[in-house]
Amino acid sequence: MAESLSLVAVPDFTAAMTSGKTFQLLGRPARAAVLFFYPKDNTPGCTTENIAFRDAYDKFTAAGVEIYGISRDSLRSHESFKAKLELPFELISDPEEAMCLLFNVMKMKQMYGKTVRGVERSTFVIDAEGRIVKEWRGVKVATHVEEVLEFVARLN
């Protein structure tokens, strides 16, 4: 897992998200944010990851951090997935892969013996000014949320 060595500014962007809201990187409340990219709603690893962020949500908000999940799924899929898992955070829909490309998370992967293009499970911590202060790529779900929480707890 690589981590950023310096603060990298992310260009401002907007994207559609659940609950009829629009995400804007620099238009959100002045606090840090965790953006986690995952491959697909309703798949085992992605479900486990979303549940882990859900279960730690109160700890993240206590640390002054908002959480946003991002995948290429439609808003309709996200709304259903969010309701099914009772997620307290919003999911951002990126069917055109604009955010995926901005954060360079599209990769060639092996799936069932075939090479496919897909989202590399990745997480970014963005500070209140819109700069990446930490990144994880090629995330393994098992202990990842605890690692992210430990990092954001040290931000304040």
Q: Spell out the domains of the chain, with CATH numbers in brackets.
A: 30-153 (3.40.30.10)
> Across all residues in the chain, what is the average pLDDT?
92
Instruction: Pick the catalytic residue from 17, 35, 46, 125.
Output: 46
Q: What are the tens digits of pLDDT across the range 4-62?
A: 345 788 999 999 999 999 999 988 877 899 999 999 999 999 999 999 999 999 999 99
Beta-strand pair 21-24/32-37: unpaired
pTM: 0.92
Ramachandran region, residue 113 (left: φ > 0; alpha: ψ -120 to 50; beta: rest): left
Does 46 participate in catalysis according to the annotation?
Answer: yes
